[in-house]
Chain A
Amino acid sequence: MENFLEQMAELFEVDSVNLQDEVIAFDAWDSLTGLSIIALADDEYGITITVNDILEAKTIQGLYALFNQKK
């Protein structure tokens, strides 16, 4: 979990993130950041997700669940 939060902070270009933070509310949220999340999911979690999956996950917590559920 801690590692995941650090990765999200890196991609959203902030010092730290909270579980309830909304994905699209980050200043750094754009289509390239979406692609970065997709690439991270593929590279390090071995899962294939889409931009829609990310939008539906809504929050950091939702992304965490997505990363650890869809196998």
Chain B
Amino acid sequence: MLFNPVSLLDKRYLITGAASGLGKATSILLSKLGAELILVDIDEEGLNDTSKMCSSNVIKVIINLYDISDLKAKIIDSVSKFGKLNGFVHLAGRPYISPLKSINEKTTTEVFMLNTYVGIELAKICTNRKIFAGESGSLVFISSVYGLVGSAANVGYAMSKSALHGVTKSLAIELAPKNIRVNCIAPGFIKTNMLQKISDSFNSEYNDTLTKLHPLGLGEADDVANSVAFLLSDMSKWITGSIMSVDGGFTAQ
């Protein structure tokens, strides 16, 4: 057999946000690399779509991630049927474009819950010895260039994404004795539904401006998926607590 150091054969991961965008592309790639997957999303139709495009063994879990207690019960149930997990990728998330003066507590709290706290809760559940496979442990969070640099009308989103950087580093230390690695990818703008939704509220000039922010142009979902595969695989076995910029050069300038 050909040498393939990113092979994920015999590995199992949970993927949130698997129904769309980056989560969908990531699930399809990991499945091609041999990983078995628990696909998690609130969008049943999208999950069906993703699971049809996966070539390995996958199971679907339809859940609203705001419901933390349901999350734990459903993961335990899936793992009992499926086998223990090597890790997860938390790709579910939502944008929150709002200048300071229209920001409100309810939405900000929801954004923090979904983008950040759910990631902590997933780490808690998936590193428990009843769930964790005990080897090749790797957790991947997805933040954003706006967790690293500032932009107007983005304070709520920036809070949720920059918080993930602290989460990544502190969990990397806490979980190192268990040999579980924890890393975070900070993507630039990728052509997905989320970007579509954001740019719909602006004009075409905005899209040009966006493209110019990326020396290598806008990204594709696979650019993030490839980095996830690397961070899950044993190729990155000495990498933990890192924030990987996958942004076409956005934050290099």
- The reply to whether the CB of B152 lies closer than 8 angstroms to some CB of chain A is yes
Give the shortest distance, in Å, between B153 (CB) and chain A (any CB): 5
Beta-carbon contact of B201 and A50 below 8 Å:
yes
Q: How far is the CA of A40 from the CA of B96 in the complex (A)?
A: 11
Interface residues on B, range: 10 to 19
Q: Is the interface of B mostly helix, strand, loop or mixed?
A: loop
Q: Is the interface of A mostly helix, strand, loop or mixed?
A: helix
Beta-carbon contact of A38 and B101 below 8 Å:
no
Give the shortest distance, in Å, between B178 (CB) and chain A (any CB): 40
Beta-carbon contact of B202 and A32 below 8 Å:
no
Residues of A within 8 A of B49 (CB): none
Beta-carbon contact of B200 and A39 below 8 Å:
no
Enumerate chain A interface residues (CB-CB to B < 8 A).
10-11, 13, 32-33, 35-40, 43-44, 48-52
List 8 interface pairs A-B (beta carbons < 8 Å), by A numbering.
Answer: A32-B99, A35-B97, A35-B99, A40-B102, A43-B102, A48-B200, A48-B201, A50-B202
Enumerate chain B interface residues (CB-CB to A < 8 A).
97-99, 101-104, 106-107, 152-153, 200-203
